[in-house]
A = this chain, B = another copy of it.
Amino acid sequence: MPVSGMPQQEATVNYNWRESLAEALRRNRRDADHRYFQLATLAEDGWPANRTVVFRGFSEDGQRLQVATDARSEKHTQLATNPQVEVCWYFVRSREQFRIRGRAALHDAGAVEAPARERLWNAMSDAARAQFFWRDPGAALGEGADIPVTQSPPASFLLLEVEPLQIDHLQLASQPQQRHRSWIERGAWQSFPMNP
């Protein structure tokens, strides 16, 4: 991953973005919205698109961020065309931000990841599941048809996984503020501290 302005210095080793993110999740767990982040994608006409999604957990290997999505959404169409994303995750209580550039993958019932998709469905609340049976999201009000409600996930229910490639972590509450950039290189994470 090429990083503009990357210094010709040894990367620091005393920083781990994955641990920092887990710690942020712990420190902000009392906030109802601490699992919401903003997912930026590219629209088909080349504009950036941006919306709030709910973080549903990490993949089993702990490396990818999981989100539930609907195959009928614009987000799905965009990601099927272009998997490049940037997550912006701001934690209010601890005043820190993770910007995660990554690659998105979409998994349906036929995917190798189908068991993880099934687990995600089972872990979701009834209210969260109900939305997947509603009429086509984004169509004019009332257009389209509801999907018959079933116990198992409808075909349009997808597991979206974001594989991080570069992370920019800003900690506003530190004195002085701290900022770290991390990126993956030959399978290993590197990082260095930056000016905030």
Instruction: Verify if A50 is at the interface (C-beta below 8 Å from B).
Output: yes
Nearest-CB residue, chain B, relative to A138: B194
User: Which 8 pairs from chain A and chain B are nearest by CB?
Assistant: A7-B140, A40-B40, A40-B50, A50-B88, A40-B48, A38-B38, A141-B193, A50-B86
- Also in contact, A194 and B140, with CB within 8 A (given A40-B48, A40-B50, A47-B86): yes
A135→B195 CA distance, assembly (Å): 7
Q: Does A23 contact B (CB under 8 A)?
A: no
Q: Given A38-B38, A40-B40: A195 and B140 within 8 A (CB)?
A: yes
CB within 8 A of A140: which of B46, B47, B192? Answer: B192
CA distance A120 to B175 in the complex (A): 26
* Docked pose: A78 CA to B47 CA in angstroms: 13
Per the bound structure, the CA–CA distance linking A52 and B91 in Å amounts to 11
Identical copies of this chain, number: 2
Name the residue in A50, A51, A143 with the highest tally of chain B Cβ atoms < 10 Å from its Cβ: A50
B32 touches A50 (CB 8 A): no
Classify chain A: how many residues form its interface, as a range: 35 or more
A: residues with CB less than 8 A from B are 4-7, 9, 32-33, 36, 38-42, 46-52, 74, 84-88, 90, 92, 97, 99, 101, 131, 134-144, 179, 192-196
Question: Which residues does chain B contribute within 8 Å of A92, judged by CB atoms?
Answer: 32-33, 92
